[in-house]
């Protein structure tokens, strides 16, 4: 998917200046889309359990800084406050982990 396509998918859900985390960042397509849409005064946190995938994520000129965190989104350390969370990378692949994380 192209960054422009990702922007079109999430444009209505975010506002300039927000802090957002991409919980399953993969190679960073949605992180880049968030960076552009949120602007340079905001923050994007890209989370993935694959450090190699995170290493491919690069900054977007004129966009929000993108920080990376190698972690599994079902067992996250304390995070800075976020205005939004994005789980766009095939949530069906993570259904079991989501159910376990949400269980009482």
Average pLDDT over residues 18-47: 91
Average pLDDT over residues 51-65: 84
Distance CA 39, CA 37 (A): 6
Give the contacts of 3 (CB within 8 A, at least 6 positions apart).
Answer: 29, 32, 33, 36
pLDDT digits (tens, 9 = 90+) for 92-104: 666 666 667 666 6
Give the contacts of 15 (CB within 8 A, at least 6 positions apart).
Answer: 38, 83
Average pLDDT over residues 12-34: 91
- Report the CATH number that the domain containing residue 81 is assigned in CATH: 3.40.50.150
Total count of domains within the chain: 1
Distance CA 72, CA 31 (A): 16
Distance CA 100, CA 18 (A): 29
Average pLDDT over residues 73-80: 85
Find the domain containing 84 and state its range: 3-102
Detail the DSSP E strand segments found in 17-78. 19-22, 43-48, 66-70
Distance CA 41, CA 86 (A): 19
């Amino acid at each position: 998917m192209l960054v422009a396509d990702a922007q079109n998918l999430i444009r209505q859900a975010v506002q300039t200046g927000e802090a957002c985390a991409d919980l399953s960042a993969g190679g960073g397509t949605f992180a880049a889309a968030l960076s552009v849409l949120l602007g340079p005064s905001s923050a994007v946190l890209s989370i993935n359990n694959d450090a190699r995938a995170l290493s491919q994520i690069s900054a977007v000129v004129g966009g929000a800084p993108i920080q990376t965190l190698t972690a599994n989104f079902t067992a996250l350390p304390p995070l800075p406050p976020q205005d939004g969370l994005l789980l766009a990378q095939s949530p069906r692949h993570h259904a079991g982990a989501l159910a376990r994380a949400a269980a009482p």
